[in-house]
A and B are shown apart, each in its own frame.
Chain A
Amino acid sequence: MTERVSDTAVAAAVDDSGTDYLQSIPRRVVTIYIPLAIFMFVLLAPFYFMGVVSFKSHDELYNYRGLQAFWIYEPTFEHIKHLLWETEYPRWLWNTMLVTVSSTFMSVFCSVCAAYSIERLRFRGSKYVGMSIFLAYLVPPSILFIPLAVMVFKLGVFDSNWALILTYPTFLIPFCTWLLMGYFRSIPYELEECALVDGANRFQILTKIVLPLAVPGLISAGIFAFTLSWNEFIYALTFISSAENKTVPVAMITELVTFDQYNWGGLMAGALIGSLPVAILYSFFVEHYVSSMTGAVKE
């Protein structure tokens, strides 16, 4: 064993290939590539079927006993056309976009102020406030939706976009604040001290020094908040009752699902289009997603 670790091998271990040189190629195929291929297949299969079903014609969908489930013979856009022109789907997309963008901006603004205050102003008791932000992050919507429904009704915003714009920050602000606290902590104190000596006030320090340095953190918080509110379901299901005010996930379940006959093509087309905005955003900011996900856990 020790003999194999020659000088060249040690040199090889220093570069990024690590200790891989100790494994033979067939062994790597069995222990790494085959399991990885199975994982990828299982993780991607539902999306594949989502795509296949949304482009299949009605005939192919319902008489496929003798046909092929994994492939499309006559691709068609009829489901997507039907969805976009003959249902209220565009309206639901617009609602979701409006609610998501407003609550994201509101949450990021509040979180920047809160995180700066907790991390940098270090007011009396800021440690406990930081801790309670973390605890707030752990409160799940499933135990809040009934009291919130009562409140939303009393405030007179039931069945309007405001009901969602006001309640989504309850899970966005704790997450974004926690994430931004980590980013602000990594910015050196000396920069702020210099600015203070030069006569800058706290607002100038925040907007001219801290924020430009925390741009990656802001993007991470923003896109993650966007995804979380785009995915939100239970509040939107509880607080919205009329079809025209629904968000995409809720409308899919309550308006497009008719229990006497499943319109699979339409449903899958709706799911596909509803996933696109987050998927596109994700494809541009993969690294930010990963850092916000791991950042929120690591701190």
Chain B
Amino acid sequence: MAAVIDSADRLPLLTRFMNNRNLMGLFFMLPAAAILLVFLTYPLGLGVWLGMTDVKVGRPGVFVGMENFTWLWEDSVFRLSIFNTFLYTVVASVIKFALGLWLAIILNNNIPIKAFIRAIVLLPFIVPTVLSALAFWWIYDSQDSVISWTLIELGFIDQTIDFLGEPNNARGAVIAANIWRGIPFVAITLLAGLQTIPQSLYEAAIIDGATEWQRFRRITLPLLTPIIAVVMTFSVLFTFTDFQLIWVMTRGGPINATHLMATLSYQRGIVGGALGEGAAIAVAMIPFLLAAILFSYFGLQNRKWQRGGRDD
């Protein structure tokens, strides 16, 4: 008898818990929230704190305030890395966008074996970046480069080009590799956006006598703007914080010409052991990332009316 009352007492409690949205919500959120709070939110704060200390590998540091940042600001290598990061991000993003949009528009046409071609286009995005960067490293090799070989065979040059050994060549080479890696993402996501634009708009424009450029400028571009904003935010974000390509191909060299903020942070923090300084360089990237995210937020604002829906 007691057991029956006991279980009858317990059951409503469990049911009450099951019917309470907030408690159930919390319960379901628990695993993800625990991992993200411990391994994402906390390290983010810890990173800012480390940036204000002089911790080294194997030596606890003390709080030094903004000293790391003022010191970095006078460091010519750090300034060069900011310049490199901006150059890398701006040039690569602009070209990725232009070529990606072009490829998306080409793929939006009626072409045979379209699904197969689209699958191949995505390959550079799928294959591990480090491994494709190794292939580029071979393509850019100072002795065995296939580009030099082809140009010599065709009679354009007589000496091999030192792609990764000369500062400006190296910058161009890593930017080209980044563009190669980034085009598929831009092209495939923009293609998905293009496919949502109704054909009837183009037909109406053709009947009205609009030229191809006018159709692109007045229909495609405005309707694609929201998705362009999001895609380019992601693209800029990942280009800005890129590490893999540079580390495999040049490790920041020659004479720091390709050091980005991320690679410099690794170089100083992990290789050099100055964890505090490395963290400070990483923290210095945050304002730029915030700017990119805000840009995305305002880019998303006007999406409803552009898709033919109402603002609500």
Contact = CB atoms under 8 A, between A and B. Distances in A.
Interface of A: 1-2, 5, 10, 13, 16-20, 22, 28, 32-33, 35-36, 39-40, 42-47, 49-50, 53, 61-62, 64, 69-70, 109-111, 113-114, 116-118, 121-124, 126, 129, 135-136, 138-151, 166-167, 169-170, 173-174, 177, 201-202, 227, 230-231, 233-234, 237-238, 248-250, 252-253, 262, 264, 267-268, 270-272, 274-275, 278-279, 282-283, 286, 289-290, 293-294, 297-298
Given A117-B25, A143-B47, A294-B189, A40 B129 contact: no
Interface size classification for chain B? 35 or more
Give the interface SS of chain B, mostly helix, strand, loop or mixed. Answer: helix
Nearest to B30: A113
Given A227-B126, A252-B131, A274-B128, A114 B120 contact: no
B199 to A, nearest CB: 5
Contacts of B42: 151
Contacts of B234: 297
B203 interface: yes
Contact of B126 (A70, A174, A264, A289): A289
B121 A43 contact: yes
Given A253-B130, A253-B247, A144 B120 contact: no
Given A35-B106, A43-B124, 11 more contacts: A5-B207, A20-B109, A35-B102, A44-B120, A50-B132, A145-B266, A147-B47, A149-B270, A150-B55, A174-B36, A282-B122
Contacts of B135: 46-47, 49-50, 268, 271
A143 B123 contact: no
A238 B282 CA distance: 15
Nearest to A196: B19
22 contacts: A10-B203, A32-B106, A33-B111, A43-B124, A47-B132, A53-B138, A116-B28, A117-B24, A121-B28, A135-B293, A146-B269, A148-B43, A150-B46, A173-B32, A227-B126, A233-B128, A250-B130, A252-B131, A253-B247, A271-B131, A275-B132, A294-B192
A169 B35 contact: yes
Contact of A144 (B28, B43, B227): B43
B18 interface: yes
Nearest to B268: A146
B220 interface: no
B130 A1 contact: no
A202 B126 contact: no
A185 to B, nearest CB: 16
A279 B149 contact: no
Interface stretch (B76-84, B139-147, B167-175): B139-147
Contacts of A142: 241-243, 262, 265, 282, 285
B25 A123 contact: yes
Contact of A274 (B126, B131, B243): B131
A144 B123 contact: no
Contacts of B125: 293
B150 A69 contact: yes
A35 B109 CA distance: 13
B40 interface: yes
B131 A49 contact: no
B286 interface: yes
Contact of B40 (A35, A39, A139, A274): A139
A102 to B, nearest CB: 13
B312 to A, nearest CB: 15
A109 to B, nearest CB: 7
Given A174-B36, A297-B189, A129 B243 contact: no
Contacts of A121: 21, 24-25, 28
Contact of B132 (A16, A118, A271): A271
B184 interface: yes
A36 B111 contact: yes
B278 to A, nearest CB: 5
Given A32-B109, A144-B44, A233 B130 contact: yes
The 10 closest A-B pairs by CB, nearest first: A123-B25, A117-B28, A114-B32, A249-B130, A294-B192, A140-B241, A147-B43, A271-B131, A142-B262, A147-B46
A238 B244 CA distance: 12
Interface in B267-287: 269-270, 275, 278-279, 282-283, 285-286
A283 B282 CA distance: 37
A109 B121 CA distance: 31
B149 to A, nearest CB: 5
B122 A150 contact: no
